Copies of this chain bind each other. A is one copy, B any other.
Amino acid sequence: MGIVLHDLAGDGDRRFSPYCWRIRMALAHKGLDYDTAPVTFSDIPGIGGGDHKTVPVLEDDGTFISESFDIACYLEEQYESRGTLFGGEGGKAACRFIESWANATLTPIIARACVKDIHDLIEEKDKPYFRETREKRLGGGLEDLQSQRDAHIENLHQALMPLHVMLGKQDWIGGIQPLYHDYIVFGTLQWPRVTSKVPLLKEDSRVAEWFERMLNLYDRLGAKMPARAA
């Protein structure tokens, strides 16, 4: 049966989930063939007849795994002989920190900057659920949040400072090669690239240059998904 990645889609076939992008990159890193199965928010609980709450869900020959970090650990163990995703136990442990940084620091800022744009591209039937959960989580109306976009973008540039500083020392968060370290942060930034009507990264910055390198990996896997900004 092979591998199937159940992946969030909106606006036709626009794949925007940051967590799914982490796994798409990890699958490409391992050189694994896979199919993707697009789902909408309301399809998630029905995947594989299971009781899944979030995507990605990875299906590998009848086994279902959810939670992006657990999927990455599964791929690392199950496909050990293909290039390492973590570069050892110290890298895997550090990825838990990088994930927490991306999710706790970058995600709330990015969400505020483009939540209304995301709302506009998901299925009509999912919009009430999306608006209710996101307004509660982010503490404000979608339109109000997005009206402060310039301030959110400035906050994002500040929050990316550690990555900017690090990129003065090495080309990838993984060091001399991209690792899951990079895919975590890439997923978080691919999400607004695919959904936001305006670009969020500072042009010609070190972070933007790294992101461009990321987009071009694996036969331009990330670049092939069109940016939403004109």
A93 touching B91 by the CB < 8 A rule? yes
Tell me, yes or no, whether A162 is within 8 Å of chain B by CB: yes
Neighbouring B residues of A164 by C-beta, 8 Å? 104
A84 touching B90 by the CB < 8 A rule? yes
Task: Name which residue of chain B comes closest to A105, CB basis.
Answer: B162
Neighbouring B residues of A99 by C-beta, 8 Å? 166
Interface residues on A, range: 35 or more
- CA A118 – CA B172 in complex, angstroms? 36
- Stretch from A131-139, A174-182, A194-202 at the B interface: A174-182
A170 touching B93 by the CB < 8 A rule? yes
Query: How many copies of this chain does the complex contain?
Result: 2
A103 touching B165 by the CB < 8 A rule? yes
Tell me, yes or no, whether A89 is within 8 Å of chain B by CB: yes
- CA A181 – CA B88 in complex, angstroms? 14
Binding site for B on A (CB under 8 A): 84, 86-101, 103-105, 161-166, 169-170, 172-176, 179, 181
Q: 26 A-B contacts, Cβ less than 8 Å apart?
A: A84-B90, A86-B90, A88-B90, A89-B175, A90-B179, A90-B181, A92-B175, A93-B170, A93-B172, A93-B173, A93-B175, A94-B94, A94-B95, A94-B174, A96-B166, A96-B170, A97-B98, A97-B162, A100-B162, A100-B163, A100-B166, A100-B169, A101-B162, A104-B164, A105-B161, A105-B162
A-B CB proximity, top 3 nearest: A87-B90, A88-B88, A90-B91
